[in-house]
Amino acid sequence: MGQRTTATDADIIDAVRALGPAVDAAADWIDRERRLPDDLVEAIRAAGVFEMYVPRFAGGAEVHPLTAFTVAEELARHDGSVGWCAQVAAAVTTFLAWIDPAAVLAMREQTGHLHLAGSARPLGTATRVEGGVLASGHWDYASGVRHANWYLGTCFMERPDGRVAGRSMILPVSDGEIVPNWDVVGMRGTGSDDFVVDSVFVPDGRVASGRWISGRTERLYDPRLNMVAGWAPTAGVGVGLAQGAIDALVALGAKASTGSPVPMREREAVQDAVARAEAITGAARAFVTETLNAAWDALADGGDPLVRAVTRAQLAITHAMNEAVRAVDIVFHAAGTNAISTNNKLERFLRDAHTGVQHAAGQLIHQRPAGRVVLGLSPGAGDPLRDGPSTPR
């Protein structure tokens, strides 16, 4: 089943594919400097990537989740960190549906464009004051924050009934401090430093509330699809890394090694390995494509078919991220000692794939709801249809 794209979706995908050579050219710099170069960020922004999940009423593209998957895959095929920054911006942007539409428009007027970073993890505290809240917090893994102009922070705050619960809110990146401490094995270029705020005022309109999401009718922001929409581009990064590793091995095809004068592409073991990796990657992509389309279509009907469709889409996302690691490992080992050289991208794809799968979307616990539904049970405690906004942690 193919994707039902709009002209806007197709335009963004085409623009991203055209950026491939620029991403390739910047990849070494990105890995070394732990961030994306400003000119590449501007090109990605011009392609509409950072706003692909922004609501149409606020000037965004509001794309199909499969478009977000494809965009992240195309970028990660050239560099994992670039794909990662794109997927994070998309996932966090879904929260705009939970705040006052007037506040979203005011945000655009204030900064000219909407580029979000952030976290759904409640690592801050907030206290209510006249007209809003005062927020303080220290969030790690703030991927892409150096290029974003808005930050989504989730804070513990007291509810009217006296209980304490997590509430997400959006504040200008300029109101906080970026702590440069990103030193990791993979995804080095995401610039996932810490972000700190201290007693920053956030108006009520920028505090997430069920009041606002209840008035949204667009499928992309339906709470039942929230985790699937947010994590679709995360899976795209995994599949893109697998495809990029295959591309890197193919590029080494004419190369021999110290152990054999036979070019790699003429060795049966390499041929077998690249075929297995291609099958794994293609199957993962196909499963995501099928299930994202099915979940999107099922939203029109609701009921039990929607529960099955959403849990299968979540299964496909987690499955794709883990299968991508398997494909990258096969390709890496097939290249022998050639793979460990930083003169080609194979070792980087290996590092990035193993780092990316540590993300919450790659954790195998997310397979259980689908297994329960297939067995005739409810999705259970890990129900991806749970109420409230959530994004990859």
User: What's 370's domain CATH number?
Assistant: 1.20.140.10
Co-location of 263 and 360 in the same domain:
yes
Q: Identify whether the C-beta of residue 113 lies closer than 8 Å to the C-beta of residue 51.
A: yes
Q: Return the pLDDT at 388.
A: 41
Among 35-44, 187-196, 313-322, 373-382, the range scoring the smallest mean pLDDT is 373-382
Co-location of 238 and 370 in the same domain:
yes
Summarize the confidence of residues 20-33 as an average pLDDT.
95
* Structural domain contains residue 383: no
Co-location of 224 and 205 in the same domain:
no
* CA separation for the pair 155, 176 (Å, rounded): 15
Q: Return the pLDDT at 162.
A: 79
Burial of residue 273 (CB within 10 Å: 0-12, 13-18, 19+) is buried
User: What's 90's domain CATH number?
Assistant: 1.10.540.10
Mean pLDDT (the chain, rounded): 91
Tell me the three state secondary structure of residue 124: strand
* Structural domain contains residue 307: yes
Residue 4: band (very low, low, confident or very high) from pLDDT cuts 50, 70, 90: low
Please say which residue of 159, 183, 209 terminates a domain: 209
* Structural domain contains residue 225: yes
Q: Identify whether the C-beta of residue 75 lies closer than 8 Å to the C-beta of residue 23.
A: yes
Residue 277: band (very low, low, confident or very high) from pLDDT cuts 50, 70, 90: very high
Co-location of 229 and 342 in the same domain:
yes
* Structural domain contains residue 29: yes
Q: What is the CA radius of gyration of the chain?
A: 21
* Structural domain contains residue 105: no
Co-location of 303 and 229 in the same domain:
yes
The model's pTM: 0.92
Q: What are the tokens at 158?
A: 């007291």
Q: What are the beta bridge partners of residue 171?
A: 151
Q: Residue 210: pLDDT above 50?
A: yes
- Site of tokens 């006052």: 100
Co-location of 242 and 335 in the same domain:
yes
Q: Residue 2: pLDDT above 80?
A: no
Q: What are the tokens at 17?
A: 């594919």
User: What's 123's domain CATH number?
Assistant: 2.40.110.10
Co-location of 254 and 165 in the same domain:
no
* Structural domain contains residue 106: no
* CA separation for the pair 21, 143 (Å, rounded): 23
Residue 387: band (very low, low, confident or very high) from pLDDT cuts 50, 70, 90: very low
Q: Return the pLDDT at 263.
A: 85
Co-location of 248 and 347 in the same domain:
yes
Tens-digit pLDDT profile for residues 89-126 = 999 999 999 999 999 999 999 999 999 999 889 999 99
Please say which residue of 209, 234, 267 terminates a domain: 209
Among 282-291, 333-342, 355-364, the range scoring the smallest mean pLDDT is 333-342
Q: What are phi and psi of 179, to 5 degrees?
A: -100, 110
Co-location of 233 and 368 in the same domain:
yes
Co-location of 240 and 345 in the same domain:
yes
Given CA atoms 126, 128, 132, 134 in this order, what sign does their dihedral have?
negative
Q: Return the pLDDT at 213.
A: 92
Among 2-6, 30-34, 72-76, 196-200, the range scoring the smallest mean pLDDT is 2-6
* DSSP code, position 130: T
Owning domain of residue 128: 113-209
Among 3-7, 160-164, 264-268, 302-306, the range scoring the smallest mean pLDDT is 3-7
Q: Return the pLDDT at 392.
A: 32
List C-alpha distances in Å: 56 to 153, 210, 216. 23, 20, 12
Q: Percent of the chain scored above 90 by pLDDT?
A: 79
* Structural domain contains residue 382: no
The total of structural domains in the chain comes to 3
Q: Residue 280: pLDDT above 90?
A: yes
List % helix, strand, coil for the chain (3-state, nearest 5).
Answer: 55, 15, 30
Q: What are the beta bridge partners of residue 167?
A: 155
Which has more pLDDT, 106 or 263? Answer: 106
* Structural domain contains residue 391: no
What amino acid occupies position 305?
A: P
Of the candidates 288, 98, 313, 345, the residue with the CA atom closest to the CA atom of residue 206: 98
Co-location of 366 and 229 in the same domain:
yes
Please say which residue of 184, 209, 234 terminates a domain: 209
Q: Identify whether the C-beta of residue 147 lies closer than 8 Å to the C-beta of residue 113.
A: no
Co-location of 254 and 327 in the same domain:
yes
